[in-house]
Amino acid sequence: MTTPRTVLISGASVSGPALAHWLHRAGFAVTVVEKAGALRGGYPVDIRGTATEVIRRMGLWPWLRQAHVGPRRATFLDAAGRTVASLRAHAGQSEPRDLEIRRGDLADALYGLVRDDVEFRFGDSVSAFAPAAHGVDVTFRSGRQDTYDLVIGADGMHSATRAALFGPEDRHHRYLAYCFALFTLPNPGRLDRELVLWNAPGKAAALYATGDGPEVHGFLTFHRPEPPRDALRDPAAQRELVAEVFAGEGWEIPRMVAAMRDTDDLFFDTAGQIRMPRWTQGRTALVGDAAYAPSFLTGQGTSLALSGAYVLAHALAAHRDHTAAFAAYEDRMRPYVTANQALVDEGGATLFPVTARALEQRDARLRTLDTLPDARPRPAHTALTLPDYEERPASSSGATRARPVR
């Protein structure tokens, strides 16, 4: 019997645990290291098109289908807080085509699937790695040292793995001229599976209740031609910047800004994409946002992360030679990533118009509707054919192992 190949994955959010699941099923020995001390939550995320098939193949559809959220009503307000349009969602189909899941629920589901099969190390991270004769030597912040056959960066938009391999983020980051802050705050008491979106030119504020619970998601976003570099690594400066941009605005905004100042779950970032000519080098590779973040304006970050994890694991299982595997991963993912990153221009224009004229035009369209426009499936959402695995017994005990079908 051959010794299993060892893989270190950096990042335990979406792409990391999904990749861990598929690699474990293919017989790899997997370790996941996560900088944070525990799994983290966040705003609801979308799982669409091909990624829903990945979820089905993981056996998670029944569970996540129960966790599916989605507003029953969306109300759009103008800068004075007056209603522009209040639109009902279409009567729900018995089975949703796509899913909208609280990020924390998705992370829990993915982690729950692999926690017993894969070693997770929370509260640690890679401090250095170097190519060795037949693997990669890794030193962790905790002081621990190990050698792995392969190292995969699933460490998100601001990936340290990417910086170590391919240089500073500036080289790969395409800034999309918006900043945003996400946090939770007490439900004003009347919102139940409902989205309320306030717009002024270049600014938006949203309250999103995924249920009728005591908390809602708060979202503040604004247009900014240049990235606020100083604020990116400084949570106090982020809070100041957001408060300054929204100072003097009405509706619920003063309460939202006060909550944002107090919260311990603030997630602040710029809208941006990661665009790279290659995602792999030597015995290392990137997956998910670390490699090809499409930005929240496309709503496709989670779907690319799930699909990318599947394709990378399949390629590594199908090719003993990692160079061939990485080439197969890049080839299959590239057109899908390109198509999804190209969706970005539509998202910003619809939800967060920058000029008064664009906002007036958007509002005029909304006034003609009484139900939310059905989120049309885009060709980009399904622009990937998943390769297949077939199950075969891995041992005399009858345990199954997934074998890729090329």
Nearer to ligand FAD, 64 or 305 (CB): 305
Answer yes or no: are the C-beta atoms of 205 and 177 closer than 8 Å: no
Toward ligand FAD, which CB reaches closer, 42 or 211?
42
Least separation in angstroms between residue 392's CB and ligand FAD is 29
- When binding is defined by CB under 6 A, the residue of 54, 58, 160, 313 that contacts ligand FAD is 160
Task: Give CA 13 to chain center in angstroms.
Answer: 8
Our CB check for ligand FAD shows the closer of 86 and 350 to be 350
Tell me the closest approach of the beta carbon of residue 304 to ligand FAD, in angstroms. 7
Within 13 Å, how many C-alpha atoms sit on residue 14's CB side?
31
How crowded is residue 236: how many other Cβ atoms within 10 Å of its Cβ?
9
Full DSSP string of 36-47:
SSS----SEEEE
Structure tokens that stand for 41 in this block: 């939550």
- Tokens 């090329």 -> residue: 406
Cα 389 from Cα 20, distance rounded (Å):
15
Would you say 121 or 261 has its CB closer to ligand FAD? Answer: 121
Would you give the DSSP letter of residue 371?
B
Find out whether 8 and 123 touch, Cβ atoms under 8 Å: no
Residue 60 C-alpha from the chain's centroid? 17
Counting residues that bind ligand FAD (by CB under 6 A) gives: 32
* Positions 85 through 104 that interact with ligand FAD (CB under 6 A): 103
User: By the 8 A CB rule, do 119 and 11 touch?
Assistant: no
Q: Does 42 bind ligand FAD (CB under 6 A)?
A: yes
Binding mask 8-37 for ligand FAD (x = CB under 6 A): --xxxxxxx----------------xxxx-
Binding mask 119-158 for ligand FAD (x = CB under 6 A): ------xx---------------------------xxxx-
- Residue 349's Cβ-side half-sphere holds a number of Cα atoms within 13 Å equal to 8
For residue 197, what are its two tokens?
A: 């979106």
- Give the C-alpha separation, 320 to 317, whole Å: 7
Rg (CA), the chain: 22
If the CB atoms of residues 155 and 249 are measured against ligand FAD, the closer one turns out to be 155
Q: Between 12 and 58, name the residue whose CB sits nearer to ligand FAD.
A: 12
Among 4, 6, 40, 87, binds ligand FAD (CB under 6 A): 40
Q: Which is nearer to ligand FAD, 274 or 359 (CB)?
A: 274
Q: Which stretch binds ligand FAD (CB under 6 A): 199-207, 231-239, 300-308, 322-330?
A: 300-308
3-state secondary structure at position 190: coil
Closest to 249 measured CA to CA, from 270, 224, 230, 221: 221
Nearest approach, Cβ of residue 305 and ligand FAD (Å): 4
252 lines the binding site for ligand FAD (CB under 6 A): no
Would you give the binding string for ligand FAD spanning residues 255-284, x where CB under 6 A is met?
A: ------------x-----------------
* Nearest-angstrom CA–CA distance, 75 and 225: 28
CB of 375 to ligand FAD, least distance (A): 15
Which CB atom, from 63 or from 267, has the smaller least distance to ligand FAD? Answer: 267
Identify the CA nearest to 303 among candidates 51, 124, 36: 51
Q: Is residue 286 at the binding interface for ligand FAD, with CB under 6 A as the rule?
A: no
- Output 8 or 315, the one with its CB closest to ligand FAD: 8
d(Cα 308, Cα 14) in Å, to the nearest integer? 11
Those residues with Cβ within 8 angstroms of residue 386's Cβ, 6 or more apart along the chain or in another chain:
50, 53, 54, 57, 307, 310, 311, 314
In angstroms, give the least distance from the CB of 164 to ligand FAD: 9
CB nearer to ligand FAD: give 176 or 359.
Answer: 176
Q: Min. distance of Cβ 86 from ligand FAD in angstroms?
A: 24
Q: Which residues bind ligand FAD (CB under 6 A)?
A: 10-16, 33-36, 40, 42-43, 45, 103, 125-126, 154-157, 160, 182, 267, 288-290, 296, 301-302, 305
